[in-house]
Structure 1
Amino acid sequence: MTRSDPFPSLLRAFFQEWLVEQRSASVHTIRSYRDTWRLLLRFIAERKGGGVARVALADISADEVRAFLHHTEHGRGSTIGTRNCRLAAIRSFFSFVADRNPEYVAQCAEVLTVPLKREPTSAPCYLEPAEVEAILAQPDRSTVAGMRDHALLSFLYNSGARIQEALDLCPDAIRFDAPHCARLNGKGRKERICPLWPETVTLIEKLLERQPRAPDERIFVNRYGKPLGASGVRFKLAAYVDEAAKAVPSLRSKHVTPHSFRHATAVHLVAAGVDITVIRSWLGHVSLDTTNHYAQANLETKRKALEQVGAPAASNVPPSWKRDASLMEWLDTL
């Protein structure tokens, strides 16, 4: 890389000035963008046959971006959603470069035309109440780790929180007196209040008795007192699901993640007849369309609606297109 190449200073300014100071991006967004650029630079360096330090701005062409996205999806086995997240991070940088250095606007425009990939929209996989109970019964609550896992999974189901929202939870964000509730910080640093069952609050109180935490310290930590990570929770949950599947075989056909509890909360609220706008506020959705997916997912709710409509009465009168012989004859001539 020549000394005149602006890429290192542009990338540094993008993260330090644009994302942090001007956009005030969350730490999760910054880490996601950081990981994207780590992968992209290593990918281009391998294709060019040099080190990452030799990658120039001109090397990051639209063709290289397309090749990287193909590798992300097919080489690394990532989902289309992950592919689109990688592209969003790259697009954001080149939008910044186009504003900062207009001489690169042609290259930026080519990269910005790389399209997002549409992915099929499937109904969210959610857990039935019996499946939730079977999973919650697995942690060994005689140990601190088991108490922690049971309290965490119970909190996820009670609140419908995203996994990182739950892992960021501190004692001062919980109202332990009635009416019980928790203050969650969601995407875009939007704060919302979720009601809690007394049973959930009791579980957290017992955990804090065994594993005390300061008011501003995270509640769910590992045996070294360090905050749990989402990957560790997924690993432990997979083991609990395997055990629970022995009693509830339907779990074997489901891909259960911490987010599955959020889906379950939403669908069960719909089944209980809770207004969809209340559920939207409960889950922290920006758009009501997102919440409506859960209304469509609950088969039991659909069945009850169908019972209210009833089957159409049988009729011996043939449809009009069968009664009009002249029309059928005319269609046959076409």
Structure 2
Amino acid sequence: MSPRTVASYRDTFVLLLRFAEETRRLPDHGMRIADLNARFLADFLDHLEVRRHNSVRSRNVRLAAVRAFLKFAARRDPDNLGVIENALAVPMKRFERKMVGYLQREQMLAVIEVATDTWIGQRDRLLLTLMFNTGARVSEIIDVRVADIVLGPTNSVRLHGKGGKQRSLPLCKSSAQAVRDWLHLNPQLRDKSPLLPGRDGHPMTRANVAQRLQLAVEAASARYPQLERMSVSPHVVRHSTAMSLLQSGADPCEIALWLGHKRAQPGAVVTRHSRLDVSTQ
């Protein structure tokens, strides 16, 4: 499994063991396979939706983690095979997939422009600029190191995607200049340093990126009031990049390669820049 899958499984069992302690008075060191029965598992999933306000998608991700463990346990604890089989019968919950929204180019540029001249504001401007230029996943953008940036006759960034895949994407002139300005402002950043650190020098977190994006959207809504009615997440920015590429005439297969979808090959390099530009001019 990838490190992110392992982290997701870890988080699931932290929540599950905490739930067992709160509702069953079961300490984590005292929980047995027999306690992880279908009734307990159903109550845990309801807790995620009702008390923690998780989406159905998140609920199903947690269930998938527990199922993986139960399948592992079934081969090693035959005495509790009946309990395990009943727990494995707890179904995934069906849900309707919502259409992912996107921002028009002018709206996205307005969001990028609101960053201030403070250190945090300049970092946020570069963060949003690179997110829109590349369409990177949050995990990819916060993993970018200084060494992943190539500045010269051609400018590019190397992204580390799912399953160990890597891809190199071109940076438009305004993005490359923003990176140069940022590195000039932060000469202490070395090759292995995160390009977009927090004040503690560590990479930004997913929650931090979502928070900074939301603050920028709220500020930009003064110029574009329709933003107040939109739920703008990092994934919406990614989708906005895809729509900008599509509207500029890019081939859908090329867009899939650009975004690092499954059809993209490991180590792929996107050479065509299309007409996507995050310049505010």
Q: How does the TM-score come out when normalised to structure 1?
A: 0.75
d(CA) in 1 for partners of 2:94, 2:146: 41
TM-superposed deviation, 1:107:
2.4
1:100 aligned counterpart, secondary structure? coil
The match for 1:279 among 235, 255, 258 is: 255
Which residue does 2:165 correspond to in 1? 190
- Residue 182 of structure 1: CA displacement? 1.4
How far, CA to CA, are the matches of 2:147 and 2:139 in structure 1?
Answer: 17
SS of 2:199 mapped into structure 1: coil
The percentage of aligned residue pairs carrying the same residue is 34
Match for 2:196 among 220, 225, 233? 220
Is the counterpart of residue 160 in structure 1 residue 132 in structure 2?
Answer: no
Q: Distance in 1 between matches of 2:166 and 2:83?
A: 39
Unaligned ranges ≥5, structure 1: 1-24, 289-334
What whole-Å deviation, never above 9, does each CA across 1:266-302 have from its counterpart, x for those lacking one? 11112222111111111111269xxxxxxxxxxxxxx
**3-state SS of paired residue (1:194):** strand
Question: What is the distance in 2 between the residues matched to 1:225 and 1:287?
Answer: 35
Match of 2:88?
Answer: 112
Within the alignment, does 1:176 sit opposite 2:164 as a pair? no
In the TM superposition, residue 73 of structure 1 has moved relative to its aligned partner by 1.0
Q: 2:51 aligns with which of 75, 82, 95?
A: 75
Q: Match of 2:203, SS? A: coil
- Equivalent residues of 1:134, 1:244 under 8 A apart: yes
CA contact (8 A) 2:135 2:242 kept: yes
1:187-215 Cα shifts (integer Å, max 9, x gaps):
22211222211211111121111113111
Residue 22 of structure 2 corresponds to residue 55 of structure 1: no
Preserved CA contact (<8 Å) 1:45 1:55: no
How far apart in 2 are the matches of 1:91 and 1:283?
Answer: 30
Could you tell me whether the CA contact under 8 Å between 1:125 and 1:260 is conserved in 2?
Answer: yes
Q: Is the 8 A contact 1:183 1:194 kept in 2?
A: yes
Distance of 1:107 and 1:189 partners within structure 2? 36
Does residue 225 of structure 2 align to residue 249 of structure 1? yes
Measured after TM superposition, the shift of residue 234 of structure 1 is 1.6
User: Residues 151-184 of structure 1: CA distance to partner in whole angstroms, max 9, x if unpaired?
Assistant: 1100000000011100110121122123222111
Counting matched residue pairs gives: 263
For 1:29, the equivalent position in structure 2 comes to: 5
What amino acid is the match of 1:248? Y
- Local SS of the residue matching 2:21: helix
Question: In 1, Cα distance between the equivalents of 2:186 and 2:83?
Answer: 55
Q: 1:269: which partner in 2?
A: 245
User: Which residue identity lines up with residue 236 of structure 1 in the other structure?
Assistant: R
Match in the other structure for 2:75: 99
Q: Which stretch of structure 1 is more off in the superposition, 158-167 or 221-230? A: 221-230
Contact 1:170 1:218 in 2 (8 A): yes
Answer yes or no: is the 8 Å Cα contact 2:257–2:263 preserved in 1. no
Q: Does the aligned pair in 1 maintain the 2:103–2:237 contact within 8 Å?
A: yes
1:130 shift after superposition: 1.4
Q: Is the CA contact 2:33–2:80 (under 8 Å) kept in the aligned structure 1?
A: no
RMSD: 1.6
Q: Is residue 235 from structure 1 mapped to residue 211 from structure 2 by the alignment?
A: yes
Residues 117-132 of structure 1 aligned to structure 2 (within 5 Å): 117-132=93-108
Matched AA of 1:74: V
**Which residue, out of 22, 32, 57, partners 1:46?**
22
Q: Equivalents in 1 of 2:197, 2:100: separation in Å? A: 29
Name the SS of the counterpart of 2:100 in structure 1: coil
> Which structure dedicates a bigger proportion of its chain to helix?
1
